[in-house]
Amino acid sequence: MNFQELYKTYSKQVYNLALHYVQNIEEAEEITQDVFVSIHQSLESFQNKSTLSTWIYRITINKCLDFIKSKSRRNRIAFLTSLFSNNKQDVRFYLPNFDHPGVLMEQKEAIKKIFECINTLLPNQKTVLILSKIEKKNHQEVAEIMGLSIKAVESLLQRAKQNLANKLKQNEGS
Amino acid sequence: MDTEDSFLKLLETIQEVESPEFLFTRIHQKIESVRVNQISPRLAWGLAVSFCLLITINILILKSNEVVNHENNLIENLHISTDNDFYK
């Protein structure tokens, strides 16, 4: 399979996964580009220890988490500098610009609130929720992508759902 | 558990979208720019070896200059004559 065919086959998968992580079109496009550049550079070293799809999922997840970490760091610096300025605008560390094209208009506000809470979860809990509930992968597939046992995935998913429910309740209360 | 079920059901309604068509062109451009800016391992090693060689030669030259200077100082301090004239 040449690179163009690979792109045609997997671009939708990569782009949508990036959208679920960052919920923003421009940022998802940037991540998608980085993922495919990375794939192009390391395709020769792909050792068939997993399927191509699983390998691409892992690259995408890592790129997304790196992007979010880097953006949080920049926002944190901006927040610290804002403490010393007169501008008291609240700077949030998680991603504020919600623009997910896969979300129906009538559900946008509700899903935006859910994602605001998902974005505060630990990376592996966020990943397991996205893969199971949005990407609709079964536990076996999630375990393969995340390099965990099926039991570990079930336990992680349970914790993620509980934490998310607690955060949503707290937000409703405030 | 009702709240949990309801928000999970909401997440499941998120639809898949097509990736933008222009992305492949951008990716291709990015790959080309990365390739152009990359230095080949052979070139990098060649530059490193040349640099080390240059430093080594410089050190050797400086050391040999030091020896010559030391000899000249010795000659001066001991008032050693470097010519064959007895009377000056």
Locate A106 and state its tokens: 């009538």
pTM (2 d.p.): 0.75
List b or e across A109-147, with b for residues whose CB sees 16 or more CB atoms inside 10 angstroms.
eebebbbbbbbbbeebbbbbbbbbbbbebebebbbbbbe
Return the CATH fold of A1-102: Rna Polymerase Sigma Factor; Chain: A (1.10.1740)
Give residue A96's pLDDT.
58
E-assigned strand segments in A3-94: none
Cα(A85)–Cα(B9) distance, integer angstroms: 43
Question: For the segment B31-60, what is each residue's pLDDT rounded down to a tens digit?
Answer: 888 777 777 778 888 889 999 999 999 999
CA atoms within 13 A of residue B35's CA, in its CB half-sphere: 9
Report CB contact under 8 Å: B23, A15: yes
Interface residue A104 vs chain B (CB under 8 A): yes
Interface residue A98 vs chain B (CB under 8 A): no
Q: Quickly state the pLDDT bin for A48 (edges 50, 70, 90).
A: confident
Report CB contact under 8 Å: A11, B24: yes
Question: For the segment A118-171, what is each residue's pLDDT rounded down to a tens digit?
Answer: 999 999 999 999 999 999 999 999 999 999 999 999 999 999 999 999 998 887
- pLDDT score of A93 more than 60: no
Prediction ipTM score: 0.78
Q: Which amino acid is at A103?
A: V
Domain boundaries, chain A: 1-102, 103-174
- pLDDT score of A172 more than 80: no
CATH architecture of A103-174: Orthogonal Bundle (1.10)
